[in-house]
Amino acid sequence: RPRVFSGIQPTAGSFQLGNYLGALRNWIALQETHDAFYCVVDLHSITIAKDPEELRANTRNAAAQLLALGIDPERSTLFVQSHVAEHTQLGWVLECLTGFGEASRMTQFKDKSARQDDEHVSVGLFTYPALMASDILLYGTDVVPVGEDQRQHLELSRTLAQRFNSRFGPTFVVPDAHIPQDTARIFDLQDPTSKMSKSIPSGVVEFMEDPKRTAKKVRSAVTDNERDIRYDPENKPGVSNLLVIYSGMTGRSVAELETAYEGSGYGDLKKDLGAVLVDFLTPFQRRVAEYLDDPAELDKVLRRGAERARAVASRTLRDAYDRVGFLPPA
């Protein structure tokens, strides 16, 4: 079976709707056909300062949310990045293969660093894409399900795999991005021209928030002054975003929704989409609470996952270190 790898940050205690429609939905689907490695990337999370207690809680929260969404730890290897030291060990080698200019061109770094003053922008935020490449390349990954915002980082992972292979001999599989066609980029409900993101919390649907609040956020989503419900991202970004979300959550096509809502107002669309999200989030949150109720069991799942991950990662690292010319340790 081909191998799939992906990771998600344990940020702020809750996934958001963009994470789900852009990536996590595919994580779940790909378990059926692929040998899956899924990772809570806590090392990436500290590129921006985090409180230790919150980080610990949020890492468990993230794992519980993944299980509640349907990641099956029997079939898939679910683990925490910092439990597998090989990620940072290979990360260093890949940092040394990454050009300073190449890393400077990463748009996510430019965006995130622009929001803080220079003294607060960590070197880790800058080198993060090399660590991400390490995450992926350690597992001989064929496909990486991610949202559109990760395309450039994925491209760098491919470049680094090819560069290493041509300099030191064939070692890494060159991974392909698996980006959904329809829901690759979900936009903020209050500002439908920017990406929905937890870093700019205005119109973000958080999976752990009170579903009533979600319905309210959808009701007050920014639309436009017209009346017709039509997919036109250029001129009607707000309504188009709602249609894409609705379609992603229900499997009904955007065209089908346009027909169904012909003659209806924005209020009807928003009310119905709010109800769809409430019906999804209510049982989801109940399942998350059950997993969090038993942290010992949760930790056991993650420990087992880390053992399985380490078995694969350590072989790849040994091979890569040998090719680079490091002496074997013993």
Residue 181: CB atoms within 10 A of its CB come to 5
C-beta of 107 vs 220, nearer to ligand AQP: 107
195 in active site: yes
Which stretch in 14-22, 236-244, 260-268, 310-318 sits in contact with ligand AQP by CB under 6 A? 14-22
Exposed e or buried b for every residue in 159-176, given b needs 16+ CB within 10 A? bbbeebeeebeebbbebe
Segment near ligand AQP (CB under 6 A); pick from 5-13, 32-40, 57-65, 278-286: 5-13
Write the burial class of residue 182 (CB in 10 Å: 0-12 exposed, 13-18 middle, 19+ buried). exposed
Q: How far is the CB of 118 from ligand AQP (least distance, A)?
A: 19
Show the CA angle centred on residue 30, arms to residues 24 and 35, nearest 5°.
Answer: 120
Residue 271 is among the residues annotated as catalytic for this protein: no
By CB under 6 A, what part of segment 49-68 binds ligand AQP? Answer: none
Burial 186-209 (b: 16+ CB within 10 A, else e): bbbbbebeebbbbeeeebbbbbbe
218 and 57 Cβ atoms separated by less than 8 Å: no
Closer Cβ to ligand AQP, 154 or 302, answer by number: 154
Q: Tell me if 153 contacts ligand AQP by CB under 6 A.
A: no
Count residues near ligand AQP (CB under 6 A): 19
Q: Closer CB to ligand AQP, residue 19 or residue 223?
A: 19
Which of 110, 112, 216, 300 is labelled catalytic?
112
Rounded to an integer, what distance in angstroms lies between the CA atom of residue 134 and that of residue 123?
Answer: 17
- For 39, the enclosing helix (H) or strand (E) is strand 35-40
Residue 147 near ligand AQP by CB under 6 A: yes
Nearer to ligand AQP, 128 or 164 (CB): 128
Tell which one of 9, 47, 59, 241 touches ligand AQP (CB under 6 A). 9
How is residue 100 annotated by DSSP?
A: H
Q: How far apart (Å, rounded) are the C-alpha atoms in residues 19 and 206?
A: 10
| Structure tokens given for 102 | 């190449």
Identify whether 112 is a catalytic site residue: yes
Contact track, ligand AQP, 172-211, x by CB under 6 A: -------------xx--------xxxxx------------
Among 61, 150, 285, 316, binds ligand AQP (CB under 6 A): 150
Catalytic machinery residues:
112, 195, 198
Where do contacts with ligand AQP occur on this chain (CB under 6 A)?
Answer: 8-9, 11, 16, 18-19, 22-23, 146-147, 149-150, 185-186, 195-199
